């Protein structure tokens, strides 16, 4: 049998002091079991990425890192967001790990899916999606909006795996391909399917957050969804074109109607129709401009090419420096 390979579990954390002890305990148990069963190599580990937390998250991570051989941490210089934390974790870990799993810190995603993901990997999948088969614990509102979002994305021609978030396994080569994507506006769950390779799914039930509050309030959720749409699809711009045609046809019809009325000698009292057209058309135009503006804004952030994150402390690479197998 081939030697077992090194797994790194990447866990982004933002103000997660309340859940971290439990997360370390539970993830650690799953990891140790897999090492024992020789499913993954003995250097397999957990990498916590502290996304600029304001609480004791980093203190806890460094404490666990010094106590436990299989825990290490990356600390951002400030909050860069969940997607960037995942990106930094993958960029750092891919130098050493053969397979990478990303999971949230709050234990909402069932960690028992991890061994199943690794199994699928051994069966030849480079990408294994964790898919929620039950969202009982999410509010009806969150379920509805999620459903609408996936349907909308599908209409817009974006290939997403429904009900899969950022809980997934990637092989080394899939991660390397993903990291070639150079965009600033990260929407990883849209990017991963673009990488290709053989993929598989593992189903699990999503639980309540273990402790603490969601870091994705409604406002951030809407922004994330809009970002997803405008980063992956230009259909909104095409819709504007359609709208433009419809309005132009109505405009021409109005024009013909007024000319006929004029020829017939009917005096039209025009105030109401004038006011309505001005306001309605003005509104429609502003909406259209703002849609285009959204894309221009995206281009603006992309061309600036700013760094996507800054790492203040990296105790992962240090830990595995001598363990590089080559």
Choose, by CB under 6 A, the member of 26, 28, 30, 79 that binds ligand UDP.
79
Regarding 216 and contact with ligand UDP (CB under 6 A), the answer is yes
- Taking the complex as a whole, the smallest distance from the CB of residue 212 to Mg ion amounts, in Å, to 9
- Taking the complex as a whole, the smallest distance from the CB of residue 122 to ligand UDP amounts, in Å, to 27
Size of the site for ligand UDP (CB under 6 A): 16
Regarding 51 and contact with ligand UDP (CB under 6 A), the answer is yes
81 binds, among ligand UDP, Mg ion, none (CB under 5 to 8 A by kind): ligand UDP
Regarding 12 and contact with ligand UDP (CB under 6 A), the answer is yes
189 binds, among ligand UDP, Mg ion, none (CB under 5 to 8 A by kind): none
Nearest to 44 by CA among 316, 312, 326: 316
Nearer to Mg ion, 23 or 108 (CB): 108
- Taking the complex as a whole, the smallest distance from the CB of residue 167 to ligand UDP amounts, in Å, to 10
Please report, as ranges, the residues that interact with Mg ion according to CB under 5 A: 104, 106, 108
Q: Tokens in use for 137?
A: 């614990």
Nearest to 105 by CA among 163, 40, 161, 60: 60
Please check whether residue 90 is in contact with residue 179, taking contact to mean a CB–CB distance below 8 angstroms.
yes
Nearer to ligand UDP, 189 or 215 (CB): 215
Nearest to 61 by CA among 315, 325, 321: 315
Strands (E), 38-92: 45-50, 71-76
Main-chain dihedrals φ then ψ at residue 2, nearest 5 degrees:
-65, 150
Regarding 18 and contact with ligand UDP (CB under 6 A), the answer is no
Residue 276: CB partners within 8 Å, gap ≥ 6?
none
Nearer to Mg ion, 50 or 104 (CB): 104
85 binds, among ligand UDP, Mg ion, none (CB under 5 to 8 A by kind): ligand UDP
Report the sign of the C-alpha dihedral through residues 77, 80, 81, 82, in that order.
negative
Residues 104-143 that bind ligand UDP (CB under 6 A): 104-106, 108
Nearest to 71 by CA among 113, 110, 20, 119: 20
């Amino acid at each position: 049998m081939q030697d077992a390979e090194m797994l790194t579990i990447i866990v982004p954390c933002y103000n997660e002091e309340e859940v971290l002890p439990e997360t370390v305990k539970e993830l650690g148990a799953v990891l140790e079991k897999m090492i024992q069963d020789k499913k993954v190599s003995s250097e397999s580990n957990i990498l916590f990425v502290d996304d600029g937390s304001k609480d004791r998250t980093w203190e806890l991570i460094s404490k666990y890192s010094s106590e436990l051989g299989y825990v290490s941490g990356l600390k951002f210089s400030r909050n860069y967001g969940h997607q960037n934390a995942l990106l930094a974790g993958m960029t750092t870990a891919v130098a050493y790990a053969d397979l990478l799993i990303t999971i949230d810190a709050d234990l909402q995603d069932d960690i028992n899916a991890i061994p199943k993901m690794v199994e699928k990997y051994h069966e030849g999948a480079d990408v294994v999606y964790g898919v929620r088969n039950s969202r009982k614990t999410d509010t009806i509102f969150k379920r509805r909006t999620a459903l609408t979002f996936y349907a909308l994305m599908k209409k817009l021609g974006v290939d997403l795996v429904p009900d899969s978030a950022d809980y997934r396994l990637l092989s080394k080569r899939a991660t390397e391909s993903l990291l070639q994507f150079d965009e600033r506006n990260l929407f990883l769950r849209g990017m991963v399917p673009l990488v290709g390779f053989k993929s598989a799914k593992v189903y699990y039930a999503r639980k309540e957050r273990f402790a603490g509050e969601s870091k994705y309030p409604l406002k951030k959720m809407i922004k994330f969804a809009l970002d997803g749409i405008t980063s992956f699809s230009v259909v909104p711009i095409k819709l504007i074109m359609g709208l433009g045609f419809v309005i132009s046809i109505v405009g021409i019809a109005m024009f013909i109607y007024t000319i006929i009325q004029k020829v017939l000698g009917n005096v039209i009292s025009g105030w109401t129709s004038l006011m309505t057209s001005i306001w309605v058309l003005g509104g429609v135009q502003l909406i259209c401009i703002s849609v285009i503006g959204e894309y221009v804004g995206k281009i603006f952030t992309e061309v600036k090419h700013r760094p996507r994150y800054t790492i203040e402390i990296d105790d992962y690479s240090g830990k595995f420096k001598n363990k590089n197998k080559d």
